[in-house]
Amino acid sequence: MSGRWLIAGTLLALTDCGPSSSKSDTATPRDCETAIKQSLPCSERYPDKNGPGLLLGCFPFSEPERISGAWVIGFETNEFYEGEKVSASLINKRVGDTQLEIDIPLRRPGPFPQLFQLNFIGRRSLCDMGFPHHIVVVDRIISRREVR
């Protein structure tokens, strides 16, 4: 997903990252201030430097919960609108502030975004993640309907 590099790069660029005070501390930070301070050293533990493993290992997230809404995914687009019904009008909606980190097979993106109605189990970021402000890591899809 093209947004993964954007997430990782933005998070690392926005933080004041220095050497970790404790190299042996590998627990997920419980607060945002600690997560920001330790983001660069923490990210070095993850070979792909992006994805759910890095996010869940380096930043605080909620416990898994059931979430539903509309998801718009395409070239440079990854917008999740919680509680909304999927419709073509979402393509032109202002940029939201929530992105999904999800691994589901998608057809090759063409010139038009794909639209999905999703119901899933996921975890919400507890910190402001920069851009986007919120990330939801999807643990398990309950239902998925592609509209376009």
pLDDT digit string, tens, across residues 47-99: 776 778 889 988 999 999 999 999 998 878 889 999 999 888 887 776 778 99
pLDDT at residue number 76? 80
- What span, in angstroms and rounded, lies between the C-alpha atoms of 100 and 78? 7
pTM: 0.75
Which position has the higher pLDDT, 48 or 115? 115
Q: What is the mean pLDDT of residues 125-137?
A: 90
Please say if the pLDDT value at position 39 is more than 90.
no
Q: Which long-range contacts (CB under 8 A, 24 or more apart) does 17-23 make?
A: 17/41
Q: Return the closest-CA partner of residue 82 out of 133, 119, 123.
A: 119
pLDDT at residue number 107? 67
Domain ranges of the chain: 3-58, 65-146
Number of CB atoms found within 10 A of residue 89's CB: 8
- What span, in angstroms and rounded, lies between the C-alpha atoms of 50 and 103? 12
- What span, in angstroms and rounded, lies between the C-alpha atoms of 92 and 75? 14
DSSP 3-state assignment of 78? Answer: strand
pLDDT at residue number 7? 44
pLDDT at residue number 23? 38
